[in-house]
């Protein structure tokens, strides 16, 4: 069964999630934006065996710790979609702009596309490409655990910004309605910032994307 733990990191309180298979203790880390000591301690405390870095998108608060963690622990970098290459190229600029520790560039070992799966131990998660906040944004969905790690696509009561380069409002709405909602109303989502919610509740209450019939 898939287990997870979410730890806010960086001055942006970005939700980094550690996910693992409870049968094997093999783990992946989603969006290690920074505060790597805190993250590696949480992993060691639980005796998890970290095997991969999964990335939803390449904004600095999500990707700032990726290069350092990957080279220190010799981990493969999986994701995001190649549409975020230009954000990876700009990581050093993003570091300076937001006063983050300087982030080195990196090359993902595997780009993801819609419909891919990623594996950790005996758990498989589905990959959906959800552009709009960034062109290469992906989300990771575990049907077995009814959990979705959605980065900055959707928040409780809100959704990702679309005013950055490559962002697009209508595209983001389409991603949420056509790629997140089919995961089911009961599915709990772990957003990149703020508390968890359920898709059903957002369909009722979120002013950006709620269903008209409610």
- Residues lying near Zn ion in the complex (CB under 5 A) are found at 59, 61, 152, 192
Smallest distance from Zn ion to CB 144, Å: 26
* The two three-digit tokens of residue 103, written as one number: 């982030």
Smallest distance from Zn ion to CB 192, Å: 4
Closer to Zn ion at the Cβ: 121 or 192?
192
Smallest distance from Zn ion to CB 127, Å: 17
Closer to Zn ion at the Cβ: 156 or 200?
156
Smallest distance from Zn ion to CB 80, Å: 11
Residue pair 120/21 in contact (Cβ under 8 Å)? The answer is yes
Task: Tell me which DSSP letter residue 122 carries.
Answer: T
Closer to Zn ion at the Cβ: 61 or 116?
61
Closer to Zn ion at the Cβ: 15 or 123?
15
Residue 179 CB neighbour total at 10 angstroms: 20
* The two three-digit tokens of residue 169, written as one number: 């409002």
CB crowding 149-175: b at 16 or more within 10 Å, else e: bbbbbbbbeebbebeeebbeeebbeeb
Smallest distance from Zn ion to CB 151, Å: 7
Closer to Zn ion at the Cβ: 77 or 172?
172
Closer to Zn ion at the Cβ: 35 or 51?
35
Q: Between vectors from CA 207 to CA 32 and to CA 62, what angle results, nearest 5°?
A: 10
Residue pair 116/122 in contact (Cβ under 8 Å)? The answer is no
Q: What is the biggest distance separating any 2 CA atoms in the chain, rounded to whole angstroms?
A: 51
Smallest distance from Zn ion to CB 11, Å: 11
Using CA atoms in the order 178, 183, 189, 190, what is the torsion angle rounded to 10 degrees? -80
């Amino acid at each position: 069964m898939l287990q997870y733990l979410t730890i806010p990191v960086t001055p942006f309180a970005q939700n980094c999630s550690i996910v693992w298979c409870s049968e094997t203790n093999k783990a992946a880390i989603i969006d290690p934006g920074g505060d790597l000591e805190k993250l590696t301690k949480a992993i060691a405390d639980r005796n998890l065996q970290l095997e991969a870095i999964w990335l939803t998108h390449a904004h600095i608060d999500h990707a700032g710790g990726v290069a350092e963690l990957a080279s220190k622990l010799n981990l493969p970098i999986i994701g995001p979609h190649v549409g975020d290459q230009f954000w990876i190229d700009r990581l050093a600029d993003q570091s300076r702009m937001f006063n983050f520790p300087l982030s080195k560039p990196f090359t993902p070992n595997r780009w993801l596309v819609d419909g891919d799966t990623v594996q950790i131990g005996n758990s498989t998660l589905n990959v959906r490409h959800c552009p709009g906040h960034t062109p290469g944004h992906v989300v990771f969905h575990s049907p077995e655990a009814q959990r979705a790690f959605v980065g900055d696509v959707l928040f409780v009561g809100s959704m990702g910004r679309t005013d950055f380069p490559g962002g697009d409002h209508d595209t983001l709405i389409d991603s949420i309605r056509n790629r997140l909602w089919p995961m089911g109303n009961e599915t709990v989502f772990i957003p990149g910032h703020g508390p968890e919610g359920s898709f059903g509740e957002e369909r009722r209450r979120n002013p950006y994307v709620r269903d008209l019939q409610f």
